[in-house]
Chains A and B, each alone.
Chain A
């Protein structure tokens, strides 16, 4: 195989393989459902798969199931069914789509979703808690709500709000709860906890994290080699669904290799098109028109070089943290604490992180996309935008729609706003170029 053929195989592999692995994962879930077996239901922020995989629970991510209905343009069927059962149009679309999936016996566009046998969630999102209560009522199954105390306030003097002693109290609380979860899993699964199996899972997660961070880092290059909103969502899917697995670790090692290849060859995320504007995406994508939403930016040469989504939905893989396999449970508690805390911080106290990301990624624009469905992500975006604009000379776009509900997605209005944003970016770019040229010529 020539180098050129090899490179051709590598480029685009992340997306191809991501889709293949995803299809296989859903096929596995379908097999589980058809065999009449149940699964562990978890969420992306604090999934605790490191414990659950040690008991060989099939893992279901209802958030991923829900967003898949939107990407496949059929979320409205699911939302309508849930609303017929009394849910308000104003609550989280993910919850409603999952509720409808349950009502439909697991029927899902990607296959059949097994019923939950146990639900495990953290307080990273309050809606997780309400969601878990729905499963309690529907199935009368054990739901374990694990408290991960978040940052109590904005950083003080560049350091975290809490003291080291207070952080250790939080870590111990998380550790004790993990031990309670293990006892519950032993009862539900009928198996003894295998700490060596847990170590294996932790190690695969460590490997995934190393590669994930490399992937994030590479996109600081110009041009960006992947789009953090479009491609990033595929990577995030694999990062969650296959977390702690050999397949996941292999996928991300290969993904990092692909990104290095792209970087070496100067292959940008926009393909043939030149990267005109480096953007940061804040929020959750507009899945009901996902591809078109991406095109509204890419057509102008806008490339998302980073996104808060790749921070808060990556289960802490973005952080420079690795599990210490010599003390797995203690370390898992620490990882869960810093991972979930960082995820929540990137939604509640994200202005500092955004300012840093603007500098590190050389971004010229920030796109804020609050959504009806998710108050955690969306509530304070308008407020933090004011701070970011005061601190950095970037342009910001604030557009609202939803990640599930196409009734509040107006493509024409979005396009108008996005077009105006790029006209502003182009104009600013021209002015900057003009100013630089004036300096060069001494005029």
Chain B
């Protein structure tokens, strides 16, 4: 039983001027109903929110995982959409790729080649050797412009911030050209404030998960986070502002479940059912699922140069992932911090099949966890996995072994 409050009549009409409401929650919907609807939208491989936006004349910037400064697109009036693949049958895309590649790469091309999602501009990033190929492939197969945003991997250079500021300016020029819009400093500042608010709410969501995980299972937190990558942030903010107090007031009782951290969801996403399976045995108190939406850890400063503020935040006030190199953030130490910070008893160290950065990192993670004597469970997943029984059994055994040790 969720909170007694229901979606108010005015829900979905935020104070900000959102041209189209994409989150179609009926008045009277309760928290469980909202979670169900969010789940449906997140799992819908026809991307109805994006379609609705375009049908209303809006333009869409699709950006591949992991992080993109969505404020740039938002300030120009575009809908920034996180391209994170989809669990679809691949009929078109596979013939464009060789073997030995992750699923998210293939399914991301599949959804666009088959018209499931339509976008006006595509941005990928050199997060891995496979992903940066997407810009060329997009350009060869699609009419919309496609490009690579080169994030610095020399994050420790004194010049990285200035370079990234210029890179953001370059992308913004392309966005302006695409939308025939001139983005002002005021536009950017306003967008940053919307996203700052969003990040604060997501931090609050994760605080609930960390401090009272029995109130919010990992799959529920996931859909509430993930939907943000498919709708305007003003709507996402309104949703979270409404949902968070209801979650806090849930009457759920604490159970005797192990507290774990889930690591390995920074790019390809595990199926929701897999997350539900995990939730049956564990409280997932922290994770890196869709970490790009939570990459920046504090408010982006409202300085005189919003692009520089965004660049500074990316480099100096951010989380970690296997695809960013920063000497200040050795990944295995960051994982240990995440585990300790959330008072987890163990870690699930996952990697998407064929994901080179994720698989490489599993080695370092497991060595560090061995040294720290923290139990961990290593696994691989794929976005389109249909059966989880084997994995569920292994995880159950892992949990029982620890509980009865």
Chain A positions within 8 Å of B, measured between CB atoms, are 85-88, 90-92, 95, 123, 125-127, 129-130, 132-134, 136-137, 143-147, 149-154, 161-162, 166, 169-170, 173, 176-177, 180, 347-349, 351, 370, 372, 374-376, 378-384, 386-387, 398, 400
Contacts and interface: CB of A to CB of B under 8 A. Distances in A.
Interface in B130-146: 130, 132-133, 135-137, 139-141, 145-146
Contacts, number: 174
A384 B136 contact: yes
B100 interface: yes
A78 to B, nearest CB: 15
21 contacts: A86-B363, A90-B353, A91-B356, A91-B359, A130-B356, A132-B325, A147-B154, A150-B148, A152-B147, A152-B148, A152-B150, A153-B148, A173-B163, A176-B159, A180-B157, A348-B133, A379-B97, A380-B133, A382-B95, A382-B97, A383-B136
Contacts of A95: 360
Interface in B214-248: none
Given A129-B153, A169-B163, A348-B135, A379 B356 contact: no
B359 A90 contact: yes
A177 B162 CA distance: 12
Contacts of B330: 133, 136-137
A123 B159 CA distance: 16
Contacts of B79: none
B46 interface: no
Interface string B302-333: 00000000000000000000110101001110
Contacts of A133: 325, 330-331, 364
B135 A382 contact: no
A176 B157 contact: yes
Nearest to B159: A176
A357 B331 CA distance: 43
A85 B363 contact: yes
Contact of A126 (B95, B139, B160, B357): B357
A438 B162 CA distance: 66
Contacts of A150: 126, 132, 148, 150
B176 interface: no
Contact of B163 (A145, A147, A375): A147
Contacts of A400: 98-100
Interface of B: 95-101, 105, 126-130, 132-133, 135-137, 139-141, 145-150, 152-154, 157-160, 162-163, 166-167, 170, 322-323, 325, 327, 330-332, 351, 353-354, 356-357, 359-364, 366-367
Given A90-B353, A379-B130, A147 B157 contact: yes
Contact of B152 (A137, A147, A387): A147
A373 B153 CA distance: 22
A401 B170 CA distance: 39
Given A126-B357, A130-B357, A379 B145 contact: no
Contacts of B362: 86, 88
A380 B159 contact: no
Contacts of B130: 375, 379
Contacts of B126: 123, 126, 150
Contacts of B361: 130
Given A147-B163, A370-B98, A381-B98, A88 B148 contact: no
A57 B105 CA distance: 40
A123 B160 CA distance: 13
A127 B139 CA distance: 24
B325 A375 contact: no
Contact of B100 (A90, A129, A351, A387): A90
A145 B331 CA distance: 16
A347 B132 CA distance: 10
A379 B133 contact: yes
Scoring B139, B158, B325, B327 by chain A CB atoms within 10 A of each residue's CB, the highest score goes to B325
A380 B135 CA distance: 10
Contact of B154 (A91, A177, A351, A380): A177
A146 B154 contact: yes
A387 B356 contact: no
A95 B129 CA distance: 14
A403 to B, nearest CB: 12
Question: 5 closest pairs, A vs B, by CB?
Answer: A375-B129, A376-B129, A379-B133, A370-B98, A154-B139
A26 B357 CA distance: 31
Contact of A149 (B127, B141, B167, B364): B167
Contact of B101 (A125, A134, A347, A379): A379
Contacts of A153: 135-136, 139, 145-148
A144 B153 CA distance: 10
Contacts of B150: 123, 147, 149-150, 152
Given A91-B359, A177-B159, A386-B140, 19 more contacts: A91-B360, A92-B356, A123-B153, A126-B127, A126-B323, A137-B330, A137-B364, A137-B367, A150-B148, A152-B148, A162-B170, A173-B162, A348-B136, A370-B100, A375-B100, A379-B98, A379-B105, A380-B97, A400-B98
